[in-house]
A and B are shown apart, each in its own frame.
Chain A
Amino acid sequence: MSECFWGWSMREDLRKNGESGGFVSSLIESLIGDYDRVISVRKTGTVFEGKVVDLKDSSDVKGIQGALHSLCINMSAYIKKGMRTAIVLKPCDAKAVIENMKRNHVDRGDVLLIGLNCGGTLSPVNTMKMLDVEYELRPDEVVKEEISKGNLIFFTEDNEFSKSIDELEESGYGRRESCRYCNYKIPSVCDIACGNWGTPAGGKVTFVEIFTQKGEQAVRSAVEMGFVSVEAPSEKLVMVRSKINSSMKKLARSWKGKVLDPIMELSPIDRLNYITNTLSPCIGCYACRKACPVCNCTGDCKCLQMDPDDVLPIPQYHAVRLLHLMESCIGCGNCTDVCPVDIPLARLHQLFAKAYEDRTGYKPGMSADDVPPLSRGDIPEGH
């Protein structure tokens, strides 16, 4: 079941200043009071900085930014069991929430997931370097960034600067690596997915796709209370949206072919050497374990009991994590972001996860009822 609308805010200031009609801001404003926590992101200073906020009343809503492309944060960590939470998140956050539901850390009934379409996020440090080298801009000049039609566009007060994202990424800038080969752009596991794909140019509206009854209820009550307004989208632009989605997915496939497939095509010995060498700078800080949204054993966590100073060819800590995440890595890239010695951990985890997906067809983070093929407790085939 899924229904599509164009939606916009009824508050003049939000409609004018909001990214695309302020629909998400007004929708979450309508949810304050209904939920224990209403969580989103607010810009602080430049577009490269922001913080997570828990909205308490209508005055908090101003300045809420649904999508901050350069804020690498996993929103799923802000959902606490037993608290009714409405949260705005990107597709990989949503997959993390689903994985947490499987592990009984989150109840489906407690959360309202408002997803945002996502074409990829940017690493702040790399982006500032790129602004300097490629765009010749200062970070504080930038008022808005956007990925559109294969271009990465930065807006200043009175001008816009656009460059091909392919060329940027070839030279090492652009989106984070895990975003380049991520092929999940519209968060269909959420209750509602919002975005600016498939909206008329300059129309100041948000394209809203509703997937669940709960999402429908939330939008309907927001309309009834006069927070937002919706109308049916034109058929042509619905097509445009799905076209954008499929072209993004095509790009993701070609990136997977450039990053992951060459490693898989190595001979087993070379692949083993690649993995061993990539992991060798590890200093055993466990930051990747702490930043991982799906890895959340508490108390007697086995990984943390491994000796960080073992002299094994692959640190046993990583050997176990590669094993565990083979069926649950959602590819959010947080591990790469936090690594102090810049090990491309997400690439390794995705290498295992994607290969496992190709072999078994199992995709993590897609449904809370999906159980990984070899964790069902029955006898596997051939035994």
Chain B
Amino acid sequence: MSFEPRIVAFLCNWCSYGAADMAGTSRIQYPPNVRVIRFMCSGRIDPNFVLEAFLRGADGVMMTGCHIGDCHYIDGNYKTANRYEFLKHYLDILGIGADRLQLEWCSAAEGLKFAQSVTAFTERIRALGPNPLKEGGK
């Protein structure tokens, strides 16, 4: 069987979840590989959630939120941006690889951008192959 990436996407309630909704109502096609988890703010995405997703076998993790300056809680996404950069260093040193993590800013009107970034990320993970932690029968 060919490899189908399993991707966990953390979406913020105010912008990127709206974007995913927009993509749906506009009938924009995107791969069904993402599992969406909704947060009230992307600033709520604890690095620990990302780690746990990888440890439990996700092939890729997407973090999405409002554009910088548009956060519903003013500066929640500043924290997201910092955590993303920090996690990239961490995943790189750990050996999982920073490529498997993606941060995308999508406003509620950017359904097309959301669909395109999911498509691009899925293709990237497909090329990278399965999560190395999963090998060995997990």
Q: Which residues of A contact B (CB under 8 A)?
A: 264, 266, 268-273, 275-276, 302, 312-314, 316, 319-320, 322-323, 326-327, 351-352, 355-356, 359-360, 374-380, 383
Contacts and interface: CB of A to CB of B under 8 A. Distances in A.
Interface in B83-138: 83, 85-87, 89-90, 92-97, 105, 132-133, 138
A377 B78 contact: yes
A383 B78 CA distance: 9
Nearest to A268: B95
Contacts of B89: 326, 355-356, 359-360
A304 to B, nearest CB: 13
A185 B96 CA distance: 34
B93 A323 contact: no
Contact of B78 (A313, A323, A360, A379): A379
B56 interface: yes
Interface string B15-52: 00000000000000000000000000000000110011
A379 B68 contact: yes
A275 B95 contact: yes
Contacts of A302: 48
Contacts of B85: 374, 380
B81 interface: yes
A275 B52 contact: no
Contacts, number: 82
A360 B47 CA distance: 19
18 contacts: A268-B132, A269-B95, A271-B95, A272-B95, A275-B95, A276-B133, A313-B133, A313-B138, A316-B48, A316-B52, A322-B90, A323-B48, A326-B86, A326-B90, A352-B90, A377-B78, A383-B68, A383-B81
Given A314-B133, A374-B86, A380-B82, A352 B48 contact: no
A378 B78 contact: yes
Q: Which of A264, A314, A359 has the most CB of B within 10 A?
A: A314
Contacts of B78: 377-379
A interface: dominant SS = helix
A376 B78 CA distance: 10
A350 to B, nearest CB: 11
A101 B51 CA distance: 29
A374 B51 CA distance: 18
A378 B95 CA distance: 28
A352 B51 contact: no
Contact of B51 (A320, A326, A356): A320
B81 A275 contact: no
Contacts of A326: 86, 89-90, 93
Contacts of A270: 95
Given A374-B82, A374-B86, A380-B85, A316 B96 contact: no
Interface in B45-89: 47-48, 51-52, 55-56, 68, 75, 78-79, 81-83, 85-87, 89
Contacts of A269: 95, 132
A284 to B, nearest CB: 15
Contacts of A378: 78
B82 A375 contact: yes
A295 B55 CA distance: 23
A355 B56 CA distance: 26
A379 B69 CA distance: 10
Given A351-B93, A375-B82, A376-B82, 17 more contacts: A264-B93, A268-B95, A269-B132, A272-B95, A272-B132, A275-B94, A276-B133, A313-B55, A313-B133, A313-B138, A314-B133, A323-B48, A323-B86, A327-B86, A377-B78, A380-B81, A383-B81
Q: Report the 8 A-B pairs with minimum CB-CB distance, sorted nearest first.
A: A272-B95, A271-B95, A268-B95, A312-B55, A383-B81, A374-B82, A313-B133, A374-B86
Contacts of B55: 312-314, 316, 319
Contact of B94 (A272, A379, A380): A272
Nearest to A383: B81
Contacts of A376: 82
A120 B88 CA distance: 33
A352 B68 contact: no
A266 to B, nearest CB: 8
Contacts of A271: 93-95
Contacts of A375: 82
B93 A356 contact: yes
